[in-house]
Amino acid sequence: MPRKVWLFVTCIVDQLFPRVGMAMAEVLEGLGYSVIFPEAQTCCGQPAFNSGYLDPARDAARHFLSVFRDAEFVVVPSGSCTAMASRHFADLFPIGDPWHAESMAMASKVFEFSKFITDVANVEDVGARFEGSVTYHDSCHALRELCVKDGPRRLLSRVRGLEMREMDIAEECCGFGGTFSIKFPEVSGGMARTKIDSILRTGASTVVSIDSSCLMQLQGAISKAGLPIQTLHLAEVLASR
């Protein structure tokens, strides 16, 4: 029997980029995993947590923990939501609280998509083919909280037909930052434009990342500038044939 993985697709993927969730499921099934999507899942609570609304964040965390309690692995197409579930749920509950213990137990089960493939499935070549030049954007939470950097690049390097072109500021923020982009739109827009300039210097036709929120921010700036560049989640590239 194949091992089971449970998908937490995140709010943005669920509402705006469902193709990313489907691509993630396709890749995992191709690696021999049985994929479970619990329909009761909702938000991880990160927007409330980051804005200081801790009671709503606790409600969301409790619901997440309840929905995924029986999971062996929870795979997430987002560094930021993975960081919330694996690192910050425990911050919401005091030591000794049963929910703190559940948070600590859940932390070892939750994996960002690329890290699950490289570190749990122990795979770097998923058999993908993608014709074109690609540059990779390091999303802040994945890089700084989860230390995800080389794994996505190793996966991309094994995609047939793909030419990798590194940005000179690959690790700089895209400017999204959740509510940051709403509270400080001029700063957020300036950061996006700086990132776009770096992308243009690579000459790549596609920007890839592991966070759809970053890609949404970059695609907005790219479309506004009328540039012939597309954005794709890593799962979409790895699902390409």
Report the 3 state secondary structure along the chain: CCCEEEECCCHHHHHCCHHHHHHHHHHHHHCCCEEECCCCCCCCCHHHHHCCCHHHHHHHHHHHHHHCCCCCCEEECCHHHHHHHHHHCHHHCCCCCHHHHHHHHHHCCEEEHHHHHHHHCCCCCCCCEEEEEEEECCCHHHHHCCCCCHHHHHHHHCCEEEEECCCCCCCCCCCCCCCHHHHCHHHHHHHHHHHHHHHHHHCCCEEEECCHHHHHHHHHHHHHHCCCCEEEEHHHHHCCC
| Structure confidence at residue 188 (pLDDT) | 87
| Structure confidence at residue 2 (pLDDT) | 63
Full-model pTM: 0.94
Average pLDDT along the chain, 241 residues, taken 10 residues at a time: 88 96 98 97 95 96 98 97 97 96 97 98 98 97 95 98 97 86 86 94 98 94 94 98 90
Q: What is the pLDDT of residues 128-146, one digit of tens each?
A: 999 999 999 999 999 999 9
| Structure confidence at residue 47 (pLDDT) | 92
- Full set of structural domains in the chain with CATH: 4-118 (3.40.50), 124-238 (3.40.50.1860)
| Structure confidence at residue 182 (pLDDT) | 79
Q: What is the pLDDT of residues 185-200, one digit of tens each?
A: 899 889 999 999 999 9
| Structure confidence at residue 184 (pLDDT) | 87
| Structure confidence at residue 172 (pLDDT) | 93
